[in-house]
Structure 1
């Protein structure tokens, strides 16, 4: 593969690393790729997963829930993948979220989130508590982001498809933690994805540097005093790494670098010509970037990455926090936690303001309430946070500001549709539930051939005695049933007279 590396890239890395280390760096491209997965601890503990795992696993040193698996194993073709028990993720890419140090109950933003690997990692650490806002500017990539959040059973995420500058007014000083996994030239992915080399030759480093500079400045405005930003790239370029952090620190004196010591240090001496503007940065900032981190493929078992941890001081008093959702409309039949009136699904997706839409009568929540009473042991979403856009019901995380004017793809956990007096539960609801929360369920062993047939969308023969039912429920077993594999939900079915009609979404089915 070394012969395929762009000549300009090799010349640059030779200048930065020096002859001896450059040879070690170059040799890493001829070594076998490494493969990783991260256990979704929102659904299963890493200890339980390790005990059940059909894969040969070894620990990723810098990721609490990360494991290497062997080449040739196919975790994407196992029922546990469809149960959302893990996310297939490159090992180095697990480092930024670990350094973000997310805690349950915090307000967290993943600013450049698609396809959702780091978002789901954040969500697992939040354990369903707090507000997670995930955003991506590319509408085509947001679809994969939504699917991954649903697959891993995330309950407290809001999905936006918005330009960051349009988020500033709504989220001014709102977040405790912000992740910027910035668009970059992708040099660290050359070994993993060879097509990145062609993209590197088409796009300039300077083009990405402009975007990165803007993202850092925008994130600073949305961070609360005392909050933390983690900035990461998958490139080696000092223009996109040390230079971005040094410039940011010179413009934002209330920020400091939190030193990272488990990886190779950032390189202040690379802030020089011809790669960076010589003498453009203060001595304070140049010293600080030595506390940032570089993950090198010839020094550890992972691809190339750069990470900087930026901590804001508590002294800024001019940044206002985002307001909580108002109390208006918080009765049993309300349809919007903020305005008490219905907004159409199309309005919600386009982010129109109240003045742009004509009010409609409130949709009845009785079918949803009946479903909860029949199928669930308790209501997993607080009634005070339930919002309806058109026929679609969502559980919106408490403490979320008004989102009027923003492009909202998901205002929270999608519960289902209220249609013509019926409630149709969503696949996202099934994936976010736990077996213990269901009054009627079926749990198939992963070794049972019916588990694979269910994932393929087939109707199954299921005896009534196989159903797991709440002993206090006396009504017939007919109706919706939470389908699980080894006790972990994978979707819905409708049971009647020994047959389970498959409700697994066509776009999710095993192929």
Structure 2
């Protein structure tokens, strides 16, 4: 089922023995993975609550990453809906791990949807600093925003823009930038059989040209001494070694960071690119001798060498000493501004329900929606936004209704009233059912075995269900 031209190209890249092993890997069922959300849980916290007896083994290159068995279905669990973990292909966990985002960093995930890398980055930032998660495709951006919400992330702003437009807003701004670039997707042929029908050499070329533009935009937005991690899920050298080679030729103030590789990972190879490009004279002998060693610092993940699908990773570091001493470099702390200061009903809810909200930020009212916007955000006027930080809730006439995002951020120790339900009742709650209770009236954070799941509100002897109707499902 693999395209013949694709196989011919792979055959030129690999030895005959490796090529046979590469083909054989497509006869083996792909590996499945999940990553625990350290904002809520890790394996030690989870293992005693593992109701479905999911069998887990560690992914070596990703903290909190685990393989699970093919027969397990962790996506059909209340824990998944509570944001305890994120279902993610194991190889796809490597790029964000190499980004090495820290608490307090300013980070951009430039091509974010559906959110695997953004949520992985956020888990290492501990809801501090600023994460801009961007996706140019509107439909995919909505999925990204939902995943940011589900994982209880408070320091993220979700934008729906082109890289070129973001460059005008965030020049020389970010400490770390993740570029999981749009690509021909050859590494996902096993996961997505339809991808083989969409593959063509022309698309490889289109993707490589688009990657040049995206990387140039990322370079303009990177702060002095910052890091860019470039990744793809394809084998095509035009989009991997070629994209990095062309970038370094355009930007001599960047270098490739020589990072540790895990067992099964192999280095990038400039020969792949030189062998397959139509015009081999595009690489001079001097360039080849110099960049061959540099490109070996990049990483390839081959499906016949490790438990995961095809990926490529390069870690780039900005080295311009003049830029590092730029005298007028600063981050714009201008706030969006509040259009309505009538927040009494919010403060009434807060005083009645919340013990504390351990976050820095500024309140912003957008129409009838209230957000807590992370500090350090420049004016985003004219930028398409799907999420402006932590969505706190909605003003409805004379009352304030808390958001699902706020519930998923909170934990029982941060609220005055919480109600823990068991695994089976949690399934019914997610489906929209109410249940009887004998509690004082008011808002309650509903948790499942300690993990926040949503809001309930006691009226009479009933816990009314405030799980969002658009998210309700039978699991």
Shared fold, TM over 0.5: yes
Query: How far apart are the structure 2 equivalents of 1:316 and 1:223?
Result: 14
Query: How far apart are the structure 2 equivalents of 1:46 and 1:228?
Result: 29
Q: Measure how far apart 1:32 and its partner are.
A: 1.3
Query: How far apart are the structure 2 equivalents of 1:490 and 1:5?
Result: 42
Local SS of the residue matching 1:162: coil
The CA deviation string for residues 189-215 of structure 1, in whole angstroms up to 9 with x for no partner, is 111111110111486200101110001
After TM superposition, where is structure 1 displaced by more than 6 Å over at least 4 residues in a row? none
Question: Per the alignment, do residues 5 and 226 of structure 1 end up closer, same or farther by CA in structure 2, a change over 3 Å counting?
Answer: same
Local SS of the residue matching 1:271: helix
Question: Per the alignment, do residues 245 and 105 of structure 1 end up closer, same or farther by CA in structure 2, a change over 3 Å counting?
Answer: same
Query: How far apart are the structure 1 equivalents of 2:228 and 2:466?
Result: 41
Query: How far apart are the structure 2 equivalents of 1:16 and 1:324?
Result: 47
Matched ranges for 1:415-426 at <5 A = 415-426=392-403
The CA deviation string for residues 106-142 of structure 1, in whole angstroms up to 9 with x for no partner, is 0000000011011000010101010000000000101
In the other structure, the counterpart of 2:299 is: 293
In the other structure, the counterpart of 1:197 is: 196
In the other structure, the counterpart of 2:472 is: 509
Unaligned runs of 5+ in 2: none
Query: How far apart are the structure 1 equivalents of 2:258 and 2:201?
Result: 34
Q: Which has the higher contact order (CA 8 A, sep 6+)?
A: 2
2:395 matched to 1:432?
A: no
Q: Measure how far apart 1:232 and its partner are.
A: 0.2
Q: Measure how far apart 1:276 and its partner are.
A: 5.6
- The question of whether the paired residues in 1 share the 8 Å contact of 2:142 and 2:386 is answered with no
Query: How far apart are the structure 2 equivalents of 1:322 and 1:427?
Result: 35
Query: How far apart are the structure 2 equivalents of 1:135 and 1:277?
Result: 34
Equivalent of 1:393, from 365, 370, 381? 370
Equivalent of 1:379, from 334, 357, 382? 357
Matched ranges for 1:201-212 at <5 A = 201=200, 204-212=203-211
- The question of whether the paired residues in 2 share the 8 Å contact of 1:247 and 1:285 is answered with no
In the other structure, the counterpart of 1:269 is: 271
Q: Measure how far apart 1:165 and its partner are.
A: 0.4
In the other structure, the counterpart of 2:126 is: 127
Query: How far apart are the structure 2 equivalents of 1:417 and 1:75?
Result: 32
Query: How far apart are the structure 2 equivalents of 1:288 and 1:204?
Result: 27
- The question of whether the paired residues in 2 share the 8 Å contact of 1:246 and 1:286 is answered with no
2:332 matched to 1:324?
A: yes
Query: How far apart are the structure 2 equivalents of 1:506 and 1:377?
Result: 27
- The question of whether the paired residues in 2 share the 8 Å contact of 1:322 and 1:401 is answered with no
Q: Measure how far apart 1:371 and its partner are.
A: 0.5
Query: How far apart are the structure 2 equivalents of 1:278 and 1:202?
Result: 16
In the other structure, the counterpart of 1:490 is: 453
Query: How far apart are the structure 2 equivalents of 1:498 and 1:488?
Result: 24
Query: How far apart are the structure 1 equivalents of 2:366 and 2:358?
Result: 19
Question: Per the alignment, do residues 187 and 138 of structure 1 end up closer, same or farther by CA in structure 2, a change over 3 Å counting?
Answer: same
2:164 matched to 1:165?
A: yes
Equivalent of 1:309, from 307, 315, 335? 315
Unaligned runs of 5+ in 1: 327-336, 343-361, 465-476
Question: Per the alignment, do residues 274 and 40 of structure 1 end up closer, same or farther by CA in structure 2, a change over 3 Å counting?
Answer: closer
Kindly tell me the number of residue pairs found equivalent between the two proteins. 463
- The question of whether the paired residues in 1 share the 8 Å contact of 2:84 and 2:151 is answered with yes
Higher mean alpha-carbon deviation, 277-286 vs 161-170, is at 277-286
- The question of whether the paired residues in 2 share the 8 Å contact of 1:230 and 1:309 is answered with yes
Matched ranges for 1:436-451 at <5 A = 436-446=413-423, 449-451=424-426
Q: TM-score, normalization: structure 2? A: 0.94
In the other structure, the counterpart of 2:437 is: 462
Equivalent of 1:27, from 24, 46, 53? 24
Question: Per the alignment, do residues 102 and 137 of structure 1 end up closer, same or farther by CA in structure 2, a change over 3 Å counting?
Answer: same
Equivalent of 1:40, from 37, 41, 47? 37
Query: How far apart are the structure 2 equivalents of 1:90 and 1:51?
Result: 24
The CA deviation string for residues 341-374 of structure 1, in whole angstroms up to 9 with x for no partner, is 42xxxxxxxxxxxxxxxxxxx2411100011100
In the other structure, the counterpart of 1:409 is: 386
In the other structure, the counterpart of 1:355 is: none
The CA deviation string for residues 439-484 of structure 1, in whole angstroms up to 9 with x for no partner, is 01111122xx3222111101111232xxxxxxxxxxxx21211111
2:213 matched to 1:214?
A: yes
Question: Per the alignment, do residues 444 and 28 of structure 1 end up closer, same or farther by CA in structure 2, a change over 3 Å counting?
Answer: same
The CA deviation string for residues 396-430 of structure 1, in whole angstroms up to 9 with x for no partner, is 11111111121122111111112222101111110
2:344 matched to 1:366?
A: yes
Q: Measure how far apart 1:275 and its partner are.
A: 2.4
The CA deviation string for residues 313-365 of structure 1, in whole angstroms up to 9 with x for no partner, is 15142876463323xxxxxxxxxx344x42xxxxxxxxxxxxxxxxxxx2411
Query: How far apart are the structure 2 equivalents of 1:37 and 1:419?
Result: 38
2:228 matched to 1:253?
A: no
Query: How far apart are the structure 1 equivalents of 2:467 and 2:59?
Result: 33
